[in-house]
Amino acid sequence: MPSQALWMRVVLGAALAGGWLSAPPAADAQRSGASPKGVPPKAAASAPPASAAPLQALAESLANRPALQGARIGIRVEDAETGDALADVGGDKRFLPASNMKLLTTAAALDVLGSDFRVRTSVYVAALDATGVVAGDLTLVGRGDPTISSRFNADQKDARLTPLENLADQVAAAGVKEIAGDIVGDESYFRAPPLGDGWGWDDLQWHYGAEVSALSVADNHVTLTVTPTRAGEPPQATFAPATSYVTLRNGAMTAASKDADTFGIHRGLADNEIELYGRLPANGGRELGVAIHDPARFAAHLFREMLLRRGIVVRGGARRADANFRQRQPLDAEKLREIAFIESPPLSAWVRTTNKISSNLFAELLLRHLGKARGPADKDADAAGCEVVADFMKRVGAPVAELKIRDGSGLSRLDNVTPTALTALLRYMRKHPAWEIFYDSLPIAGRDGTLRSRMKGTRAADNLRAKTGTLDDVSALAGYVAAANGRVLVFSFVANHLNAARTAGVAAGDDLGKALAEYAAGASVGGGRAPERK
C-alpha cells in the first residue's frame, strides 16, 4: 500500500499530470474495507477518522484540472459516521444533478411508501354473458406499475411481454369470446402531464425521454434494430415488441464501410411513425430505444393484438382514458367485474432498477406515487411528488432552500441540487430502516449497473457504490466508499457545463472514487467543515 507521503505527492501532482496513482487489484478490495456482497460496510470502531487536509488538496486538484477548465465543479466528502467534512469545493453551490436526482426520489419513496409497496393492474368488464360476450368495453386499468413487460425484468427480448400476455391468458380463461366495444387503456390513476417539467425536446424521441403514464408497458418504447444490407440498398429495420402501433418509413441507405455515417432517425412528438434517413455504413448496425407517443393507448393496442391472437373477437379499437376523461365518465370499479389482474413486484425492486440501471420511467412513476400518497390533492401528481421529496429532504437536514426539484429522474434542466445536500442524504440513509435496500440498489464499481465498466482493477472496484448522473454536459457521481483505513466515506462529485469535456468529467469522478478508496490517513479530524475554495 502506498505511503502517506507518496499519496500526498500524487494528490498535489494530479492537477498537472491529469492522472492518478495506480491502485492495487480488485482482489484486494476486501482488505481495503469493502464489504461482502449484500452486506453494507460499517466503519470499524477502532479506526480513526481521516485527516481533512489531504482530501481537500485532492478535491482542489481535481477541480483545477486543465481538461475541466470552464466547467463548474462541486465536490463534497464526509466521514459517513461522524459527518465531519473532509473536502469541499463548491459544496453549497447549486448544480444540475442529472440522474443523481434519483437518489432523492428513491430514498423518499422508501421512506414514505415503504419497501413492500405494491400496485395492482386490473382488467374490468361491465358484464360477461353466458356465451362469453362482453357487451361494452374491456378496460385495462393501470395504477403506476413501471415493471409491466419492462426490459429490465427479462433476460431475453422475447420474454418482455410475459406480464401482459399473462393478463391476456386470464381474460381468455375467464371465458371471454367476444368484446363488442373497445379495449380501453385507463391511465386515470394519476392526474399529471406525460412529460417532466423542463425536459428537452431533443430527448423525447428516445427511450430515456419516454412519456410517463399510470399504464406503462414495455418501458413505453420500442427497440429498433437496424441492420445494413448491400451498399446502395435500404438497411433492414425491425422493432420489438412487434406491433402495428408503430410504423416505419425507411429512407436510409446502406453505404460502404469506409463511407461517412450520416444515419439518423426521427419520430414526431405526436405520432408513432419512425423515419430512417441518411447513409448507414455496412459495418454500422444500430439498436436504438425509441419512445412511443401515448403510452396508455399503446398498452391498449398491444393488449388488443394479444386478445386477437387468442381467438377473441374485438369489434372495437384501442383508446385511452385519462384523468380528465374520467372526470366526465367516472370508472366505478365496484360496479364492474375484475376478470384479470397482476400484482407488481415490491417497491424495493423498483428502487433497484431506478438506481442500478438509471431508469427515468421508474423514477418518474415513483415520484407520482409520492404525490398521490402524500402530496397536496389540488396539484398534479408530479408536482405534488416534488413537494413530498422536498419535505423529506428537510427531514434529512439538507439545505432545502438551495434545492429545486422539478422531476424525479434528473432529466429536467430545471433541477438544482448541492453536493452538501447529497452527502447529507447519503449519511441519513445509513441510519434509515431501509438502509440495506437503498445501499444494495446502487451500482457497484467495476461490477454492475451504470458502473460496471468503471474503476475496474482498483481498490474502488467491488467497494464503491454510487449513483451516476449524465446529461450532455453534466457528469455526476455520489455514494459510498470504504477507505483503506477502514472508514466509510460519503462523497458527491458533480460537473456542469462540460461541453465537449464530458469524458474528462467522468474521469475526474472516477479518480475521486479511486483515491478515496486508497486513502489511509491516520490523523484525527477536527470539528467543522473543510475550507471552501472560492
Q: Look up cell 495506480; give the residue.
A: 22
Phi and psi (nearest 5°) for 210? -60, 145
Between CA 248 and CA 486 the distance in angstroms is: 56
Is there a catalytic annotation at residue 102? yes
Quickly count: other Cβ atoms within 10 Å of residue 404's Cβ.
16
Q: Look up cell 398521490; give the residue.
A: 372
Q: Which three cell numbers mark 373?
A: 400518497
The region that residue 250 occupies, defined by phi over 0 for left and psi between -120 and 50 for alpha, beta otherwise, is: beta
Amino acid at 185: G
Phi and psi (nearest 5°) for 229? -115, -130
Q: What stretches of 160-266 show up as alpha helix (H) in DSSP?
A: 162-173
Element (H, E) at 392: helix 381-396
525 touches 84 (CB < 8 A) = yes
Nearest to 482 by CA among 505, 462, 510: 462
Amino acid at 314: V
Q: Are strands 474-482 and 488-496 parallel, antiparallel or unpaired?
A: antiparallel
Between CA 385 and CA 371 the distance in angstroms is: 4
CA-atom Rg of the chain in angstroms: 25
Q: Which three cell numbers mark 507?
A: 474521469
Q: Look up cell 447529497; give the residue.
A: 422
Nearest to 96 by CA among 374, 391, 410, 387: 410
The four Cα atoms 504, 508, 510, 511 give a dihedral, to 10 degrees, of 130
DSSP 8-state class, residue 444:
B
Amino acid at 450: T
Euclidean distance between the first and the last CA atom of the chain, given in angstroms as a whole number: 34
Is there a catalytic annotation at residue 51? no
Of the listed 61, 102, 441, 492, which one is catalytic?
102
Q: Are strands 183-186 and 318-321 parallel, antiparallel or unpaired?
A: parallel
Give the orientation angle of helix 419-429 with respect to helix 101-112, to 10 degrees: 30
Of the listed 32, 51, 61, 99, which one is catalytic?
99
Quickly count: other Cβ atoms within 10 Å of residue 347's Cβ.
23
Of the listed 358, 409, 441, 475, which one is catalytic?
358
User: Could you give the residue numbers annotated as active site?
Assistant: 99, 102, 358
